[in-house]
Chain A
């Protein structure tokens, strides 16, 4: 009962925040609404006792990805009006995607109503079993190759992004820290001994 109330309350906030993402006039507010969305999704996962996934969602998306989003959105001077102009042209495509998503959701709900045993359906974990350990056990045995593959794809994406944006400008005056640290005072300072000047 309590879980149901919490589920509906957090789902309502989630949907409201999702609407806020696309309706907010300010891009920074949109990003913050998206953060709220992630939080509520994490809470929904907590309600079905998937605490590892919930915390990882907050850690990765809220703690790292969205911070960078916010960082970029704040730096950019986003002109909302200019973006609005393209709205009518892209509207049919958007409507099509929305339609596909709605059909997919309806299909999933319809399949569930038939009472078919879904491959994803499993018995709830025994009392005291660690969620984290269970996921780890599956991730590193049954799904080891897909997991490694996903990691490699991400690594390649990082390397590609860096190599695309890195530019080596000639004549750049950058510091070489190891040379700075290893400098010998004798090379830089010459102590001269000379007689003091006489009073005029």
Chain B
């Protein structure tokens, strides 16, 4: 039995279908019509203690609904969730005292008050013992470099500072599981790095189980070892990040820079992306197209200044997976 056990959960939302116009409005009022939307379809997975798992998927894929069920906010329609013996949506109070949740888009801090006031309030809400509170606070202050802004009202903080404060707020009660919903959204590069490093350190030092949802593949690359891809409510991949790469391992990208403006003619089995007149990308499957042939063709046909070959980045792989049907997990 794993630490977190999710078996066959499904969730369907009822969405009211609105008609427009005056007769439509009356119809909405008296005979509302609903449309069922299957947000999550028969999803199962298990997570071990101390794992870091990233959930990715396009908007509306069902990531947030899955996380909401995992954190006890929503009941699944069918299926079961068990977290070390607790059922999140049934034993809410007991369960939530053991988890922390960071919503990147929704702060839990008091907007008009200094950060420390919000922390004091959380101390009371979670009944955190004085010594634990002090220990955690000191530690996060240092790790997240918060002493500069801890006494400032939240409304004066930069987005990066606010996010750091929010992360600390979710961790003050030493949760065993932490959910991060888009934790780096809108934060600048330096801020993102600080957040990712902190999350990694915390996982390494305390063995806290961490579950992410994100759009930023860098978040996943830099923190998680496991990736779950959800698309249209179904799990379409569950495995390591390298595994995803291997699925598309034979794919290559060739960047060619020309000496002068060049029109590139089509080549069989090669996808060509013209970045600008002097730079084109050739994406191809290494098993189908031989790199030597392609290179000699290009060098023979065009006046080439520079060439660079690479694996496609993880973003383009994921984008490909979304657009395709299910791949083997």
Tell me if chain B binds chain A. Answer: no
